[in-house]
Amino acid sequence: MDKLYCVEDLAKACDTTPRAVRLYMEKGLLEPMRAGRTYIFTEPSRQRLTVIQRCKRIGLSLNDIKKRLDPTDKAELEAMLERVKDITIDANTELEALCSELSHVRRQERN
């Protein structure tokens, strides 16, 4: 049987806040079961929250994440793939620039 989580337990398991979990519920990204007034999440919910967090880290909006998790057509998936590729290229360019700048600062400190 899957482990069950309340909002607070799910937030703790995924190193986020209960407020974030509730926001994802409000936006339709997480759909818990209910036991009276308590929201109940299962292990697949925890895994889905992990995917949501990963998507947030790479810069996707909540709407983009919802489309990614619930794709409706090939064109949307291809558009999201292109966006992630663009984000990756931009991030790599910025990383290279920062590494270069840091190297320059270190060389100046040695002189």
pLDDT by position in tens, the chain (length 111): 568 999 999 999 999 999 999 999 999 999 999 988 999 999 999 999 999 999 998 888 998 888 878 766 677 767 777 888 888 898 899 999 999 999 999 999 887
pTM to 2 decimals? 0.65
What residue type is assigned to position 30 of the chain?
L
pLDDT score recorded for residue 69: 81
Task: Please tell me the distance from the alpha carbon of residue 30 to that of residue 8, in angstroms, as a whole number.
Answer: 14
The b-or-e profile of 94-109 (16+ CB within 10 A means b, else e) is eeeeeeeeeeeeeeee
For residue 88 the two structure tokens come to 């990756």
pLDDT score recorded for residue 84: 81
Could you say which architecture CATH assigns to the domain 1-70? Orthogonal Bundle (1.10)
**β-pair partners for 41:** 5
Q: How many CB atoms lie within 10 A of CB 34?
A: 8
